[in-house]
A and B are shown apart, each in its own frame.
Chain A
Amino acid sequence: MRHWPAAALFAALALASCGSGSDPRPRAAKPVGEELVGSVAQMAQCSDWNAGTRAQRLATIHDIRRQVNLKDSAVRTPELSDHAAYRVLQSTCGKDFAGSFRLYKLYARAASFAAFAEN
């Protein structure tokens, strides 16, 4: 019994470190892209992504996730982990024609495939 709290804590830390979609921790880095009403989700594009640091990119993913992954009673869009989202965006934004791609569109596409994203 005494092992349960420690196990739970370990699990929580593990989830946080791999970027669970609902991570509520404040982030120091600012997300990349033009901000609209407190969010970059609408406007951030691959050229912004490519110019950002890793921390900024992760902050961008968190911002987009908040916009895309609603949790209303009738809304349950699949989330993409930080790791999977980072990989998708990094891969796509690396193409020389992708500079103007909106990141949220790429994220949402991948998120709907979240069940396969870690394979």
Chain B
Amino acid sequence: MSKGRRLIVFGAVLGSLALPAAALAHLERPSYWPDPAPDTAVTPPAGGKVPALRSLESAVTGNGPGQVRVVCQGSGGAKSLSLLSASIDKARKHGYRLRPSQPKLHLSRWAAFRLLWENVLLARRCAYSEIQPAVNASHNNDRVVVMPGVYTEPTSRAQPLNDPRCADMTQEDSGGGKTPSYKYQVTCPNDQNLVHIEGRAVPDTPPPSPPLANRQGIPDLGPCVRCNLQLEGTGVVPTDVIIDGASDYESNDPEARPHTFHKHVIVRADRADGFVAHNFTVRGALEHGLYIEETDGYRVDTVKMFWNADYGNLTFTSDHGLYTDCDGMGAGDAVLYPGGAPETGEQADKSFYPDAPRFNTIVRDCDMRGSVLAYSGSMGNAVRITHNNIYGNTAGISTDTISAAGHPGFPADSVQVDNNYIYSNNLELFKANAPVPPAVGILPVGVGIFWAGHNNGNVWGNWIWDNWRNAAFLLSIPNFLVTPEGNVNPGVSCEDPGLSTSCGNRFFWNHLGRVPKGFKAFPELYAFGNHVGGTRGAAPNGVDFWWDEGGTGPVVNNCWFGNDGPDGTEASVTGPGVGDGNDTLPHTCVGSKSSGDPVKVQYLLSCFLAREGELPPEQCDWYTLPPKPGSLSAARKQRAFAKGAREFLETARAKQLEDRIGQLTGIPVPRP
């Protein structure tokens, strides 16, 4: 077995271990990508594009389309109006922020008056004290307007989990596992969810069993009943309206940690084409804060997501989505997770997506912080992540191509990460009594971007600094260890039929290890004891671009060019990581091929196998933050690692592993 070929397999091993753990999503009913065309049975049509945000003023005038239902607290909304007045006073006196990383905004006297007056008018129409009944009464194009207050939804909370009424409405997959069907969610809406939005009626035809291999088009789709629904708060800031699934908070601060959780999902929008969420906070879920599934056209606009044990937001197999001006923290997995995003990238089926290639989901102007991961997305195809602030997490962005059952879209491709600030992701959560309990492990602390098995990705124009392990990881995932769900696309970026991931990725025009001018630190950057190495000038990453080089030969067309490092030059960019001494990052995209590096591949294997040995490459250090870049201890560790790695390759343990790889691949490992 050639060195290069062997390294491909090593890379496969590491990838197969890394990815599911890194960004493994959730267990869900077999899901399908919605028809991307607008549903013209509704006027205006539902889906087919990101829905527009309707102004609060238009809710007051009642000009439509649709009806407005108002939810408030206190008699005639008195409590809500009192809370609003306090929030307005505070904003007028001190200013307010929509996101911690952003400058304060000023609320003008006129804007304050107008907001108060709009709320006074809305309070006169208030007919609900809980959100779920207002949603239930709504139809297509309607709006549910929620005035300030903390909404615990006591009626929903009182509904039983595993309601016997719906016991026979589960969907059984061919493995024998049961999941709640769409009918289950509609019939027992508050079994798991604090607020459930049924976008479409339950059809007479049951879902196909077993699920269809072709996931394009929902096979059991009913007509719209609540499409184009807008759910919105009426306060100054999203924390004025909190939809709350927990209790026993450590303080009255909206970001305080809860200790008792009551519902699995705070708001679930299911098949709710054209759904808009605006200006509220979802807080305290046993699983997910805002859950959007099988939806065409959605907008998550100025929404906060705090203390949701798995995901702040989980969106699954949904199209035409936009996240904007959002903010999340306290997620045990990721703040945002648009998983199973449709194949609208380089592998799009043009008969189903005639306007492809296009981005199906855009994440912009959000703060993702204080969590295990900022962003995750198994099989997250064609998502654009732009102009966000990603800081203070264990790791920043993770997109992978391996996942558990229910994630169609292999291999993930065509994600673009551009013009973000990705910094100081050095939060140590893999320790006893962590301030944010991690739901997912096997992640390296101190990483900005963790990409495994992704194709045709672009990472450009970002400022990435002060991530003490790496600015960006790129790993390869050979096919023989991957058994994805649904139809499998060939991985058009790659050339080798046995290796269809980690090709055609481009990293360019990024600024590494340097804080942008004008950046100002803010308290949330240091939350939960996050380590911050520098907030001005040079603030190096451990290694800027780490690459496994594990796809020697077949892994093609990856490139790194036009980036600048801590001193402002390309020469100060570091990568692809300490290896066997022959370590280079290709500058030229077309025709580039990896050369492999057994040292760092073995290092990764030791992490993923969790079978630690004596030498540094056998000792996984991912769970502890590396020394601050540039320090003596960091240099010392690097030297020790390289020496130990070379020694390991001469051991019997390394040869035993090579033999196993040879058995699996059918390529015998040559012995001297």
Contacts and interface: CB of A to CB of B under 8 A. Distances in A.
Interface in A88-119: 88, 91-92, 95-102, 104-106, 108-113, 115-116, 119
A33 to B, nearest CB: 12
Given A39-B178, A67-B405, A109-B17, A72 B173 contact: yes
B162 A108 contact: no
Given A73-B210, A105-B440, 7 more contacts: A66-B175, A71-B174, A74-B213, A105-B24, A113-B17, A115-B481, A115-B664
A109 B177 contact: no
A50 interface: no
A66 B24 contact: no
Contacts of A100: 309, 332, 437-439
Interface in B415-434: 429-432, 434
Contact of A36 (B192, B442, B481): B192
B264 A106 contact: no
B610 A92 contact: yes
Contact of B481 (A39, A101, A113): A113
Given A75-B485, A109-B20, A41 B27 contact: yes
A119 B13 CA distance: 13
Contacts of A115: 481, 664
B178 to A, nearest CB: 5
A109 B442 contact: yes
B21 A109 contact: yes
Contact of B162 (A36, A63, A78, A106): A36
With most chain B CB atoms within 10 A of its CB, the pick from A70, A92, A98, A115 is A70
B76 interface: no
Interface of A: 35-39, 41-43, 45, 63, 65-78, 88, 91-92, 95-102, 104-106, 108-113, 115-116, 119
B180 A112 contact: no
Interface size range on B against A:
35 or more
B111 interface: no
B441 A45 contact: no
Interface of A is mostly: loop
A76 B429 CA distance: 33
A97 B486 contact: no
B589 interface: no
Contacts of B623: 95, 97
A101 B657 contact: no
Interface of B is mostly: loop
A109 B24 contact: yes
B115 interface: no
Contact of A37 (B175, B184, B210): B184
B179 interface: yes
Contacts of A76: 483
Nearest to B438: A100
A112 B439 contact: no
B482 interface: yes
Contacts of A92: 441, 610
Q: Identify the 8 closest CB pairs spanning chains A and B, nearest first.
A: A74-B213, A100-B437, A109-B21, A67-B177, A109-B20, A66-B177, A96-B432, A72-B210
B405 to A, nearest CB: 4
B404 interface: yes
8 contacts: A36-B161, A41-B177, A72-B210, A95-B430, A96-B432, A97-B434, A109-B19, A112-B16
Interface in B111-166: 161-162
B448 to A, nearest CB: 22
A102 B440 contact: yes
Nearest to A62: B176
Given A72-B213, A74-B487, A38 B178 contact: yes
B174 A113 contact: no
A39 B172 CA distance: 11
B269 to A, nearest CB: 19
Interface in B173-223: 173-180, 184, 192, 210-211, 213
B439 A65 contact: no
Interface in B82-125: none
Nearest to B173: A70
B9 to A, nearest CB: 10
B598 to A, nearest CB: 17
